[in-house]
Amino acid sequence: MYKTVSTALQSKQVKLVIPAIILGTLAYVFWRNISSFEIFSWQLLRDHATVLILITSLTFVNLYFEMRKWTALINSPVVKPKTAFTGILLGMCSGFVTPNRLGEFAGRSAALPKAARKKGALMTFAGSGIQGAVTLLAGAIGFIFYPILPQIASLAKLWPQVFYIVIASIALAALFLWFKKPLKPHIAIVLKHLKSIKTPILIKAWFWAIGRYAIFSTQFVLALYCVGFTSDIWMCYTGVFLLYFCQSYLPFTAMGELGIREVLAIFIFGAFLPEPMLAAVASLIVWVANIGIPVLMGLLKMKLTKTRLIGIS
């Protein structure tokens, strides 16, 4: 699976298509959400400029924590922090166009010394698994404490979208079960390497994963209060936990992730906002900060250094 994806990402056509898709997608996101920007008045933007700058600044803390988690798992002296940080940015570019950022490992491996590429790729998947477990645990907290049921009636207009999401989820689950057997050997390889990691290193990786989750959850909380969230901070955090849980287990690209996150944000937070659509604005702010900006940085780095997305053989 690794070689198949990385080989595909090496082709000239893909190397031309990825930048075009990234730039085209970001342009489409702006055009598609222009009405949301109208709701989010420029006066409100000026009033919360400091908070928006803080949200953007936390993006770099988020990336730093991800880099530390990855290097902790690789545990190799040949992988320097600066190299690993470049790998994180390149990985965001290669993962941008693949479901659940499957192609991320190819971009990350491209920045590493040859001796560390295979382990770097495997630890990308291991790190994602740890991050997913943190999301699962936090999501359980969200399900327990967030009062989602009282809001359903007040947001009845969203039921068609919710219905389509449920149908899509069932279809995707069926596809996963269909392909479960051929995927099993690749999953086993990742689990084998994960089991070989020493306990202190795993604990360290968990620490960085929890820290990273706290950072990007806080970004969403800040964005929600920017647009007028009216409930208490615990309620806000548990709602964010619930949203990230629902979003993380749907295999969409970064572009599809944006659309699904907007719908989920309106559904989950709409009753606590002056205008339900403002939840989509908060979602867009976080998407631009955590995906749009790093992907553009990675694309610029890729072009300036003429980096190739390479295999891991």
Q: Is residue 312 part of a domain?
A: no
Q: What is the pLDDT of residue 154?
A: 45
Is 0.85 surpassed by the pTM of this model?
A: no
pLDDT band at 153 (very low <50, low <70, confident <90, very high): very low
Nearest 5°: the CA angle 182, 12, 18 is: 75
pLDDT digits (tens, 9 = 90+) for 232-273: 999 999 999 999 988 876 655 455 566 678 778 888 898 898
Average pLDDT of the residues of the chain: 76
Q: Is residue 236 part of a domain?
A: yes
Q: Is residue 237 part of a domain?
A: yes
Establish how many alpha carbons lie within 13 A of residue 32's alpha carbon, considering only the half-sphere containing its beta carbon.
Answer: 14
Q: What is the pLDDT of residue 254?
A: 54
Q: Is residue 76 part of a domain?
A: yes
Least confident of 50-54, 83-87, 212-216, 303-307: 303-307
Q: Is residue 313 part of a domain?
A: no
- Work out how many domains the chain is built from and give that number: 1
- Who has greater pLDDT, 101 or 124? 124
Query: Which residues are within 8 A (CB) of 92 and not within 5 positions of it... i.e. 6 or more apart?
Result: 101, 104, 107, 291, 294, 295, 298
Residue 139 lies in domain: 2-305
Q: What is the pLDDT of residue 134?
A: 93
Q: Is residue 85 part of a domain?
A: yes
Q: Is residue 21 part of a domain?
A: yes
Q: Is residue 240 part of a domain?
A: yes
Burial of residue 153, with CB atoms counted within 10 A of its CB: 0-12 exposed, 13-18 middle, 19 or more buried: exposed
- 79-101 average pLDDT score: 82
- Going 247 to 250 to 254 to 257, the CA torsion angle's sign is negative
Distance (Å, whole) CA 59 – CA 54: 9
Distance (Å, whole) CA 113 – CA 116: 6
pLDDT band at 222 (very low <50, low <70, confident <90, very high): very high
